[in-house]
Structure 1
Amino acid sequence: MKRALTLISFGAMLAFASAQVLASGNIENGKQKAATCFACHGADGNSVDPQYPRLAGQYNAYLVQVLHEYKDGQRNNAIMKGMDATLSDQDIEDIAAYFSSLPTKLDTLQGHIQGD
């Protein structure tokens, strides 16, 4: 029993340490770097216009992936490609950290799905 508790504790420590390593963005730097994003997505990441996604509370890894996909052309959107063109990998990490740290106001998809 003692060995099982030790293994569980060790596993929990590894999981926590892994999460810290993966979250390499700086929230405060991200807030400054995301200033141009606010016009469409809102300063709090909760866009009021349904044509722009709400970014607040999204998974950090998802935001990083999407920003890279816009930057390298895997996702085709002229506005986002232009916005991402000058972002470094660290900028993307920081912006993702900022938006993922914010509380979401999305409690339903009503009015937030294209075609509604």
Structure 2
Amino acid sequence: MKRALTLLSFGMALALASAPLLASGNADNGKTKAAACFACHGADGNGVDPQYPRLAGQYNEYIQEVLHEYKDGRRNNPIMKGFAATLSDQDIEDIAAYYSALPTKLDSLKGHVQGD
């Protein structure tokens, strides 16, 4: 009985800890919320200027993590920090859902990685 309670407690703790990773946003809302991103990253997430990352098809969780890192200062870019500072957690989930659902135009990394 004690072992079962321990396993149940561990399972509940694991479920609660992973809940943010399972959160999903609304891509339609994300498109509206990402309007400020379009100037650099493009409405289709495939910005044409190589200094701006392509977001189309990027992992949802990665986009969320990066936006949180800009927001809380773990990543230091004055432009992105300013944009991310105004985003709620729901905004971040929605924007990540939007960009991650878009088809990427990047078929390989050739020419897109320093040193190529």
- TM-score bucket (shorter structure): 0.7 to 0.9
Q: How many residue pairs get matched?
A: 97
**CA distance in 2: counterparts of 1:43 and 1:31, whole angstroms:** 8
Contact 1:51 1:114 in 2 (8 A): no
Structure 2: which 5+ runs fail to align?
1-20
**CA distance in 2: counterparts of 1:114 and 1:47, whole angstroms:** 18
The structure-2 alpha-carbon separation of the partners of 1:78 and 1:35, relative to structure 1 and needing over 3 Å to count, comes to: same
TM-score scaled by length of structure 2: 0.77
The structure-2 alpha-carbon separation of the partners of 1:79 and 1:115, relative to structure 1 and needing over 3 Å to count, comes to: farther
Percent of pairs with identical residues: 80
What's 1:29 paired with?
Answer: 29
C-alpha displacement at 1:24, in angstroms?
Answer: 1.5
TM-score scaled by length of structure 1: 0.77
**CA distance in 2: counterparts of 1:114 and 1:87, whole angstroms:** 31
C-alpha displacement at 1:114, in angstroms?
Answer: 4.7
Structure 1: which 5+ runs fail to align?
1-20
C-alpha displacement at 1:112, in angstroms?
Answer: 2.6
**CA distance in 2: counterparts of 1:29 and 1:40, whole angstroms:** 19
Comparing 51-60 with 103-112, which one deviates more in the overlay?
Answer: 103-112
The structure-2 alpha-carbon separation of the partners of 1:65 and 1:46, relative to structure 1 and needing over 3 Å to count, comes to: same
The structure-2 alpha-carbon separation of the partners of 1:114 and 1:36, relative to structure 1 and needing over 3 Å to count, comes to: farther
